[in-house]
Amino acid sequence: MYFKQITTPGLGCFSYVIGCPAAREMIVVDPKRDVQDYLDISRQEGMKITHVIDTHVHADHVTGAHELKSHTGCDIMMYETSPVTFNFTPLKEGQKLTAGNAGLEVLHTPGHTPDSLSLLVTDFSRGQEPWMVLTGDVLFVGDIGRPDLVGNAKLDEQITNLYNSLYVKLASYPDHLEVFPAHGAGSLCGRGMSSKPNSTLGFERRHNPMLGFDSFEAFHLAMSQQFPTRPKSFTHIISTNASGARLLERCPMDLAMEPDRFEERMLDSAVVIDVRNAAAYAGFHIPGSINIGFEPSLANWVGMVVDPKSDLLLVVDSQADYERMRTELHRIGYDNIHGYLMGGIESWVYSGRPVDKLSIDSAQEVEQCLEDGKKLSIVDIRTPAEIAQGKIPGAATVSLIDILDGKFDLPEEDHHIIYCASGYRSNIAASYLQRHGYWNVRALAGGAIAWTRAGYPLEK
């Protein structure tokens, strides 16, 4: 049996290739939208892609099922009640598939969505019992799937489904069964996933806190608590996956734009995303642009900040950066990418067009202002869990999500210093506020990390 886990950086997504070189057949599970990795494996290992299976209608990334079908003619398979509008081959509880020595058995494991499935995987060359289980978004390493994405009206039903999938159905399988989920650390489909890409049922039963409740009531209470903020992109991605993603070849053509054409598109209400690092963006940038750096998870933050139906223009340092960013945006359904600024920000500057700056204050500068008794508005945009570890004395707390949703009360005329943990999120917030008329907003260089390493205290 051939088995390979493929990681999608930035989104925390895992997909899988299962096959048999002797039988020249392979099955792809939960593919990402850019499918070259699977096509390369197919060619290198001499296996034909016969089926592609999605374990559920994904909310955080666009499936590559349709891309693979267009390249190979493979069948698209999902659980029989999946709410999609395109033709697919339905899978039923207990149904078995084979690709030579590799065997798959379908388990209906609702909870993350009503139509989620898991796949028991057997290598017949080694034995007749399952070796591993692909759990989709039902069970992760260190966490379980969030049940709230289908809406509050079905939340209680989904919590019940999730409990039955985890505490009844999967509970019947042995400890040694290996667990391979559809997501890992960095994904927004759970709350506390481990960075380890796989586990076993036994280890999760002992150490996964979400599998340790002694009653359904205790489980229900825990699953009714607050979940990670739902990005703007999730509804769009679910709709795209339910109706069938358009092929990438039908997305807008790549355009390297001169400053005059770039500016014309800006005036047509296109959103400009500048992916340079915080210091480069602070030096000078196109007025009205939003800074969302490549690292650590560009796709998740674009999904929080930008409407997925927006026309997009990109400011990058090179064509290679553009290609990388375009791929990441396509993975989350942001297809209206109309081009990038040829020659980067320098071409804009040398064209004589105006630029803005984003002031960045060091920890030492902020501390000196506090020592001198100067009036400062310091705004902590970190999560409640981060803030609980301590914040800069006198800082107000406003979540980044509330800033992006306009749910804040910051006087425009005040000198606001925004900070997060490292400076990444503060640049997003500061550039967003600057775009909306806050001209005296600044960011704290290095965030809370720089503050504490400079020897300054935090208050709780």
| Three-point CA angle 44, 50, 56, nearest 5° | 110
Contact present, 363 and 429 (Cβ < 8 Å): no
Phi, psi of 218 (to 5 degrees): -65, -40
Query: pLDDT at position 340, please?
Result: 94
Q: What mean pLDDT do residues 61-69 have? A: 96
Query: pLDDT at position 404, please?
Result: 87
Q: Domain 359-453 class?
A: alpha beta
Query: pLDDT at position 384, please?
Result: 87
CATH number 3.20.20.100 is the correct assignment for the domain at 2-233: no
Query: pLDDT at position 252, please?
Result: 64
Rounded CA-CA distance 246/28 in Å is: 19
Query: pLDDT at position 48, please?
Result: 96
Query: pLDDT at position 150, please?
Result: 79
Helix then strand then coil, in percent of the chain rounded to 5, is 35, 25, 45
User: pLDDT tier at 413 (50, 70, 90 boundaries)?
Assistant: confident
Contact present, 128 and 122 (Cβ < 8 Å): yes
Counting Cα atoms < 13 Å in the Cβ hemisphere of 437 gives: 5
Does residue 51 carry a pLDDT above 90? yes
Q: Which of 13, 20, 189, 420 is catalytic?
A: 420
Contact present, 81 and 22 (Cβ < 8 Å): no
CATH number 3.40.250.10 is the correct assignment for the domain at 251-350: yes
pLDDT in tens, 164-205: 999 999 999 999 999 999 998 767 766 677 889 999 999 999
What kind and span of H or E run contains 120?
Answer: strand 117-123
pLDDT in tens, 283-320: 999 999 999 987 766 778 888 889 999 999 999 998 88
Query: pLDDT at position 293, please?
Result: 85
Query: pLDDT at position 190, please?
Result: 65
| 189 a catalytic residue | no
Instruction: Render the burial of 432-442: b for 16+ CB within 10 Å, e for the rest.
Output: bbbbeebeebb
Contact present, 68 and 33 (Cβ < 8 Å): no
User: pLDDT tier at 10 (50, 70, 90 boundaries)?
Assistant: confident
Of residues 64 and 256, more confidently modeled: 64
Query: pLDDT at position 277, please?
Result: 87
pLDDT in tens, 91-122: 999 999 999 999 999 999 999 999 999 999 99
Does residue 57 carry a pLDDT above 80? yes
- Residue identified by tokens 């989904």 is 158
Residues of the chain above pLDDT 70, percent: 97
Mean pLDDT over all residues of the chain? Answer: 91
- Residue identified by tokens 């608590």 is 225
User: pLDDT tier at 254 (50, 70, 90 boundaries)?
Assistant: low
Does residue 70 carry a pLDDT above 80? yes
Parts of the chain belonging to CATH 3.40.250.10? 251-350, 359-453
Is the bond preceding 393 in cis, omega lying within 30 degrees of 0?
no
Query: pLDDT at position 39, please?
Result: 95
Tell me how long the chain is: 460
C-alpha 106: how far from chain center: 26
C-alpha 193: how far from chain center: 13
Q: Where are the alpha helices (DSSP H) in 46-172?
A: 65-72, 155-164
Query: pLDDT at position 255, please?
Result: 82
Rounded CA-CA distance 305/324 in Å is: 19
Rounded CA-CA distance 96/98 in Å is: 7
pLDDT in tens, 337-375: 999 999 999 999 999 999 999 989 999 999 998 888 888
Parts of the chain belonging to CATH 3.60.15.10? 2-233
pLDDT in tens, 371-393: 888 888 999 999 888 999 999 99
Of residues 230 and 125, more confidently modeled: 125
Q: Which two tokens stand for residue 275?
A: 């992916």
Rounded CA-CA distance 345/280 in Å is: 10
User: pLDDT tier at 253 (50, 70, 90 boundaries)?
Assistant: low
User: pLDDT tier at 409 (50, 70, 90 boundaries)?
Assistant: confident
pTM, two decimals, is 0.85
Q: What mean pLDDT do residues 322-332 have? A: 90
Phi, psi of 122 (to 5 degrees): -120, 135
